[in-house]
Structure 1
Amino acid sequence: MGLKRVRIELARSPGFPEGSRRHGYEFVAPLDDEGHLDAAAHRLHKSDCKVRRFWGDEEEEHGTLIHGRAGWWFDYDSKDEADDEPLFKLDRHTISEGEYISVTEHDGKLYAFRVVSVRPF
């Protein structure tokens, strides 16, 4: 197990037929040797599990990768659940380059993102 810095970028979608390198996330996550999220390791390293959201010309957002009963999500304000961005069945995904991750954005829409890098933290 180790903490990894993961970068995901918007995959092809109706508004972005080629995807977009300017829309995505970088986050730190505890991954096991197969590339799955490790909830036990997350409990030990919560303070390291940060996320940066970059979205075109919008101001960057900084938050935390959270794990709970509802799964995994990005949180930018612990006092406001409206900003939470759930990660679709992330506990079942392998996080490795070329794989895809789905994130529900602030607008409630589900977007697909391609994992472009997984590096040691």
Structure 2
Amino acid sequence: MPLFRIRLELARTKDHPSGSTLHGYEFVAPLDERGHLSTAEWKANKTKCTVRRYAPGVPDEHGHLIDVGRGWHFDYDQDGYEDDEPLFKLDRHEIRVGEYLSITEHDGQLRPYRIALVVPV
């Protein structure tokens, strides 16, 4: 099962009524033929499942996609969970261009992201 590079761009929010291509995430994950995350393949490729968070005016953050047993998170510091960003029901979503995912960010706010790109690594 191949790994895919996935780009998420901020969808419409109160602060960004048109969304923003400048706020987003790029991450690598194994997807099955239906576009669902594969836990078994993730376990075999953990170190390759990286994430980059980007936004204007702040340094990029780099980390990993992790399965915490009760959902998927972006983890930027392996020594603690305070910086983790949970992805809302990622295990149930089809990861396809045009679909949406929600992420609880560092400030505690749940924000919507549009899937803008899904390509094999």
Q: Structure 1 length normalisation: TM-score?
A: 0.98
Gap runs ≥5 in structure 1: none
Offset of residue 69 of structure 1:
1.1
Correspondence 1:33 to 2:33 = yes
Q: Separation in 2 of the partners of 1:81 and 1:66? A: 11
Correspondence 1:68 to 2:45 = no
Q: What residue is the counterpart of 2:24 in the other structure? A: 24
C-alpha RMSD over aligned residues: 0.6
Correspondence 1:56 to 2:56 = yes
Gap runs ≥5 in structure 2: none
* Over 4 Å off, 4+ runs: none
* Percent of paired sites with the same residue: 55
Offset of residue 57 of structure 1:
1.4
Offset of residue 101 of structure 1:
0.4
Q: Structure 2 length normalisation: TM-score?
A: 0.98
SS at match of 2:47: helix
Give deviations 1:49-104, integer Å, cap 9, x for gaps.
Answer: 00000012111000000012121000000112110000000000000000000000
Length, aligned pairs only: 121
SS at match of 2:82: helix
